[in-house]
Amino acid sequence: MGKSSKRKRHHKDSEALPPSSSGEHCGEFPLAASPDRRPPRHHHTANGVDEPQVVAVVVEAPPTPQAVAPCMDSVVKVFCVHTEPNFSLPWQRKRQYSSSSSGFVIAGKRVLTNAHSVEYHTQVKLKKRGSDTKYLATVLAIGTECDIALLTVDDDEFWEGIIPVEFGNLPVLQDAVTVVGYPIGGDTISVTSGVVSRMEILSYVHGSTELLGLQIDAAINSGNSGGPAFSDKGKCVGIAFQSLKTEDVENIGYVIPTPVILHFITDYEKNGKYTGFPLLGVEWQKMENPDLRMSMGMGADQKGVRIRRVEPTSPESQVLKPSDVILSFDRVNIANDGTGECFIHASIPLYPLVGKSNGGCRVPGEAGAGPTQYESYGGGRTLKRHNGHRHGERIGFSYLVSQKYTGDSAVIKVLRKSKTLEFNITLGTHKRLIPAHLNGKRPSYYIVAGFVFTAVTVPYLRSEVSWSLHKMPSLSGYGKDYEFDAPVKLLDKLLHAMVETADEQLVVVSQVLVSDINIGYEEIVNTQVLAFNNKPVKNLKSLVHMVESCQDDYLKFDLEYQQIVVLKTKTAKAATADILATHCIPSAMSDDLMT
């Protein structure tokens, strides 16, 4: 989606913490409300949120026990065994660990939980409230960006006596909510109540993206992940997924709201898999300065944001240009600060079906709900309710983009050299030069003469030890502070770089496995590879092809900071096998590079 003038440099007190194990101190950072986990310690992908300020609210009465009680049997405990890759030693996997979290049953014999609750899962089991039986579950889809996963259970016995949770409308400020789940500290179900204190575009810590989110003042602790948040009518209005924990604030939790949840479900139903949330491939700046607006030829009644850069690989690059001013997106006007009026379209599943007709469809039988408030949506399986303008609320226009689906079209109006133009664009997901996650895949690597080459990702940065800063290994690694401690050039590319081609990767020498063949090169760590034998390195696969097919006398690698590595081709390739044997490495390259 559109990005403001620069990507956020996240504060140290806005980083995600690893899941907590029994007795583990939760620390002072926001927690991606993670599974109750037993060691070893594990870090989730971080994309912190700017530290929220506490908002004074009038506390309403919590949802009545009568409304929430029937829903509790639909809330299940999720047990997962994870086996993660070792991103620093990509030919290995880390020691497996176990976690527990929450989930809830929805229509179609499916269960929703958080993506980080089942990340790199080896086995997933579910247990119903009051039961002593754990049922094996299958992961149908994982939406890393929105931190949602969809599960099912093959055993019909599991579904006996469970009534699926129903989704409700997006709540408004000060609406009461109840979070239900299985947090750390006990084995039985837990209930906490609070109110909605803020609705805005949030940074989703696990997915390193920004989507609509709700802030509530109910406690969300480790193990609450994936549990439902209920309204006072007993309808699900969100999924608990992260919380803010600092010395200055208490009980600030975050909930994935129904528009995001139902986007995920509809995406899966339409495509048979999760395809992601589309993005607008531009970076933009605010137009709040009157002189800036005048210089761009904007009239007194025109508002919008200026495009700084357009991603070269995005569909938008065919029509949008730097210095275009975005005036509206899909007929919704954009303000000079990048916000739009808050029109919320909450999709509502068609259950229960109560007989009010709407063009051949049926709508929920709510008091005062007329057919004109709904439209058919998602192939007749869901409806879209027009809740209309929310008085006093504005929201970043990226919300409008995120409500679309991959492949959808949108109308964008821009001002270019004092002329107003309209374009139809096709929306899609966009690749980052340094990906925030690998969607469950193992990292790629290539080894020759002891040089370990890999493509940089956020998980890699978080796992790496701090050689570049301290010239010696640090047991703590970059970890949650990767955005402060990783090499400056890698951070600059993480925050600002755009891919020039769809297959571009940032390839580095991760480390050098010491051998007689590489004397003098031992201290090269996390250094970008720019060229091989005077040919640019586009990605790791292209580097492998060039090295493996090289018939020249020497292998020459051009690195950043004007460093070069030169090795005799025959002796370098001959030494590789012995180095692999010394370090018990099964192959010189990952499986994906062999084809």
DSSP 24-93: ---TTS-B----EEPSSP--------PPPPP---PPPPPPPHHHHHHHHTTEEEEEEEE--B-SSSTTSB
- Confidence at residue 492, expressed as pLDDT on a 0 to 100 scale: 83
Looking at CATH, the fold of the domain delimited by 282-426 is given as Pdz3 Domain (2.30.42)
Q: Is 581 exposed, middle or buried (0-12, 13-18, 19+ CB in 10 A)?
A: exposed
For residue 340, what pLDDT is reported?
A: 87
Give the pLDDT confidence score for residue 373 in this predicted structure.
Answer: 38
> Can you give the pLDDT at residue 382?
36
Residues paired with 191 in a beta bridge: 180
Stretches where the chain sits below pLDDT 70 are 1-67, 342-392, 465-487
What pLDDT is attached to residue 406? Answer: 93
Domain 14-276 has CATH 3.20.20.60: no
* Catalytic-role residue among 36, 147, 217, 267: 147
Q: How far apart are CA 221 and CA 42, in angstroms?
A: 16
* CATH code of the domain made up of 445-593: 3.20.190.20
Whether residue 199 contacts residue 173, with contact meaning beta carbons closer than 8 Å, is answered with yes
Residue that has been written with the tokens 């969809």 in this structure: 150
Whether 116 is catalytic is yes
147 carries an active-site annotation: yes
Map out the domains of the chain as residue ranges. 14-276, 282-426, 445-593
Comparing CA positions, the residue from 254, 241, 238, 64 lying closest to residue 165 is: 238
Distance CA 28, CA 30 (A): 7
Is the Cβ–Cβ distance between 569 and 550 less than 8 Å? yes
Q: Are 383 and 270 in contact (CB under 8 A)?
A: no
Element housing 572 (H / E)? helix 569-582
d(CA 539, CA 508): 10
Over 68-81, what HEC string results?
HHHHHCCEEEEEEE
Amino acid found at 229: A
What Cα–Cα distance (Å) separates residue 151 from each residue in 9, 35, 103, 107? 35, 16, 9, 12
* Beta carbons of 415 and 296 less than 8 angstroms apart: yes
Spatial distance between the Cα atoms of 287 and 303, rounded to a whole number of angstroms: 8
Decide: residue 23, CB within 10 A, 0-12 exposed, 13-18 middle, 19+ buried. Answer: exposed
DSSP-assigned letters across all residues of 479-534: GGGHHHHS-HHHHHHHHH---SSTT---EEEEEE---GGGTT-TT--SEEEEEETT
Please tell me whether residue 104 adopts helix, strand or coil conformation: strand
Instruction: Count the Cβ atoms, other than its own, within 10 Å of residue 355.
Output: 7
Q: Which of 10, 42, 43, 116 is catalytic?
A: 116
Quote the pLDDT of residue 493: 86
Which residues, listed in sequence order, are joined to residue 124 by a DSSP beta bridge? 80
Tell me the helices (H) and strands (E) count for the chain, helix number first: 10, 31
State the DSSP H helix or E strand holding residue 398, giving kind and residue range, or none if neither: helix 398-402
For residue 96, the SS3 value is coil
C-alpha 320/C-alpha 334 separation (Å) is 16
> For residue 49, what pLDDT is reported?
36
pLDDT of residue 65: 57
Among residues 68, 110, 432, 83, the alpha carbon closest in space to that of 264 is found at 110
Answer for the pair 184, 223: CB distance below 8 angstroms, yes or no.
yes
Residue owning tokens 């109110």 = 195
258 Cβ neighbours under 8 A, 6+ residues apart: 167, 168, 169, 170, 236, 237, 238, 346, 347, 348
DSSP, collapsed to helix, strand or coil, labels residue 546 as: helix
